[in-house]
Each structure stands twice: as structure tokens, then as C-alpha cells.
A and B are shown apart, each in its own frame.
Chain A
Amino acid sequence: MTSYIFRYFNVAGFGETSRLLLAASKADWSDEKPEWPQEKPNQPFGRLPVLVEQSADGSPDFVLSESATIERYIARTYGFLPMDPGEAAQQEQLRDRLNDVVIAFFTPNLVDASAREAKNAEFVGLLDRLFSVHSELLRKNGNNGHLFGTELSYADIATYAFLRMFLVNPMESLKQSPQLVKSKLTPELVKLAVTAEADPLLEAYVSKRGKVADVVQV
């Protein structure tokens, strides 16, 4: 049977969506937190996360880098992303956008103090737009807690991971953002989170690692 090692730091960061996908796939998988930076030269691109797929028949490991590529690979393998390019693209663009917003959050740390306020305002603007687009999609899909169709999808998991990152045991470096994100949640997004957490595919994972439902009013 195929098994996976997900090599990353001990944070949600750019790894949570992959972990959720692995959990939902019911595949045999484990987290690996490498010594850093000692293990840097041993990674294909010198960075994390890395996914190592080990097959049962002894053929060489398949090693993949880049968080989004890892996610899409797992999602396609286990049917969380459709094979139709148009349908897949609609989900993938949402994930790319979520990622842009996460990066925008960290950008104020990269610019000097005079530009920081503008960058923070930019993050808030992006967050508003993001939540508005997501909520609209959820409404158009009948407000069943899914962005597309009626089952847990890649887009659902990526969105849920974004919410988890800010709301469930958030990192110190996120500072005031958890309150900000919580204050901007729409009923549709709350329903997405609750639906994901109630899904049998994710129940075991969230019962061990905390729930969005415990943090917000449901």
C-alpha cells in the first residue's frame, strides 16, 4: 500500500491543506519535521514542504516539492479535484487566491515602517474581497457548505485550511489577524467550516487538532 511522508515545519503555514487532504484521503501518512537548516541540502529544491510517496512494491520514492503542487497531486490522486481542466481550474484559482492573501498578510513585515500601514490596509481589502467571492460562490451553490457540488472538495479543504490557520491555535506571528478574520466571517463561511469538520473524512483529524467550531459562534 502506498504511504506518504509530509515533510514540513510544525506549523499550519503552507502545510495545512496538504495535511487535511492526506487525512481525508485515508491514506497511510505521517508528518516529518526535519532538522533545519541541516536538512536543507537534502531537499530537491532546498525548501519545504516536501511530499515523499513510498510505494509498497519497493520502486523508488516519488518526491514532490512546492505546497500547491503537492496539494493538487494529492487532490487529483484521491478525487478531491475533478480531472476536467475547466472544473479543476475553478477550484485551483481559489486556492491560489487564498495563498496570495496569506502572503499579503506577511508582506508588511518585509517593507519598511513607512509602507507598513498601507500594506496592512491592503491585506484587509484583499480579505474582504476574498470572503465576498467565497460567500457568493457558497450561496450560488445552494448554501450547502460546499463551494462546488455536494461533497468535500479541494476548494473546500483549502478554504477551510485558511480559516484554521487564523482561528485554530494561530501562530504568534499572526498577531491581531485572528480577531480580524473572525470579525469578517460570513454565515456561509462558518457553514463551510462546520460542514468540513462534520465530514467523516476529517472528523478524526479535527478531533485531535482543534476545531473552528469551538472558536466561532455557530
Chain B
Amino acid sequence: MTADNTTPTYVLRYFDIIGLAETSRMLLTAAKAEWTEEHPEWPQEKPNQPFGHLPVLVEKSGAEDEEDFVLSESGSIERYLARKFNFVPTDNKQMARHEQLRDQHLDAIIAFFAQLSLVDEAKKEKREDFDAMLDKVIEIHTSLIRKNDDCGYLFGEELTFADMSAYAFYKLLVMYAVTFEADVAPFVKDKITPEVLHLLRTVESDPLLHEHVEKKGSFVAHILTE
């Protein structure tokens, strides 16, 4: 460590909700990065963001004359942190497998929100899209856990980006999406397979995420009560 402290520090700028920032929060914590969260006044701070929206990641190098590195778009932020802190393999194909899962999680989440404001037939149709995507995601997670000797991680034997993204996915639906439509929580909980539960437990008990769970509470405990 040099005297002028050139270890980067991070600011994650978002709303005080699970939303689309949970995976980034987990990545920063698991990376043992020095980071803080900022909840900007909204919409006053909108014009000050690169693309007028959140989340935004600010990486400060610590060196005096270096500009901050500012990144937008939750997916790009997550992939940046995952790559930088080695939570994805460097092999192109393997990296792509993590990324496609994350994109799939997001598509399912978008599908849930897309049906919220609809009614009648239109809503029914769009809700069925969400249901089908949720089923598919659960099927894929379950299959990956089994193929990975049921060790509790999706790939390999250590906590990876895919694991954190999957955990955040279920947490978002059960604890955040529920504030928009109450029935989604029991709906999702009922579909969680033993393998998915094993994944959630494994992620939550990983020492790298101890601080995160301390701060945010146990999602697994939330699922198991009621």
C-alpha cells in the first residue's frame, strides 16, 4: 500500500430499495471493496446523472489528478464489478453463461412489471408470459444445482456472479415486487424447489456475504416463516 492511498473507493447511487441494485450491493460487499451508498434527491438529481437515471456507480481511484470513472446501467455495473473482482471466469464462453442467466433474470422481472398496469385479457396474457419465464428460470437453476453435485452453487465451488444474481432475483420478487402486487410473494415461494432453496441458503451463508446479510436481514428466514 502506498502512502497516498490509491485503492479505489466506490459510491453506488440508487434509491433505498432492493430494485435493480441488490446484485451490485452484494458484489461490492463480497469483493471487500470500500464503498458507500448514496440516495440522491429525486428527481432533482436526475439531470446530474450520465443518462438521467439510476443506478450509477462512481469509482474514485484515490489518485489526486485522476477523474472518477462513472458507469450507468445496472447490467453494465454488475458485469464490471463481477469481472474486476473475479466473480466470473475469464473464459469467454463461461463468462457468457453467467451473463445470459443474469439477462434472463432481468427479462423475467421486466415481464412482471410490464403486466402491472394492464387489465383483463391483456393483463392475463402478459402475466402468463411472466409465469412462463419464472418457471423457466427456476427450472434452469434447479438443473444447474443438480448438475453441480448439489453443492449449492450454480457453477463451480465458490460464490460467483450468477449465484448473487439468482439470489437477488428471488429476493426482488418476494420482497420488493410484492409491494406492487401482494400475490407474487406466495406465488414465487410455492414454486421454489429444494435445489433453489439450497442455493439461497448457500449464498446467504457464504462468509463473503456475512456483512450483507447482517445489514439487510436473512431472505431465507423470510421465506421459511409463514
Same complex = yes
Residues of A within 8 A of B (CB): 44-47, 62, 64-66, 68-69, 72-73, 76-77, 85-86, 88-90, 92-93, 96-97, 100, 103, 110-112, 115, 129-130, 133
B residues in contact (CB < 8 Å) with A: 50-52, 69, 71-73, 75-77, 79-80, 83-84, 92-93, 95-96, 99-100, 103-104, 107, 110, 114, 117-119, 122, 126, 132-133, 136, 140
**Residues from chain B with Cβ under 8 Å of A68 in the complex:** 75, 99, 103
Question: What residues of A have a CB within 8 angstroms of the CB of B132 in the complex?
Answer: 46
Q: Of B72, B118, B140, which one neighbours A45 at CB under 8 angstroms?
A: B140
Cross-chain contact A69 with B118 (CB below 8 angstroms): no
- Is B76 a contact partner of A73 (Cβ separation < 8 A)? no
What is the CB-to-nearest-CB distance from A148 to chain B, in angstroms, rounded to a whole number?
14
Interface pair B99/A66, CB less than 8 Å apart: yes
Residue pair B104, A89 in contact (C-beta under 8 Å): no
19 additional contacts, CB 8 Å, given A66-B100, A86-B69, A88-B80? A45-B100, A46-B132, A46-B136, A65-B104, A66-B107, A69-B96, A69-B100, A73-B96, A86-B84, A88-B83, A89-B76, A92-B75, A92-B79, A93-B71, A93-B76, A97-B51, A111-B117, A129-B51, A133-B50
Chain A nearest CB from B7 CB (Å) reads 16
Task: Give CA–CA (A130, B73) in the complex, Å.
Answer: 13
Contact B92 A77 (CB under 8 A): yes
**A-chain residues with CB within 8 Å of residue B119 when the two chains form the complex:** 112
Name A69's contact: one of B83, B103, B114 (CB within 8 Å). Answer: B103
The residues of B that contact A90 with a CB separation of less than 8 Å are: 71
Taken together as a complex, chains A and B put the C-alpha atoms of A66 and B133 apart, in Å, by 13
Q: What residues on A are CB-neighbors of B77 within 8 Å?
A: 89
Bound Cα distance A110, B114 (Å): 7
Q: Which of B96, B104, B126 has the most CB of A within 10 A?
A: B96
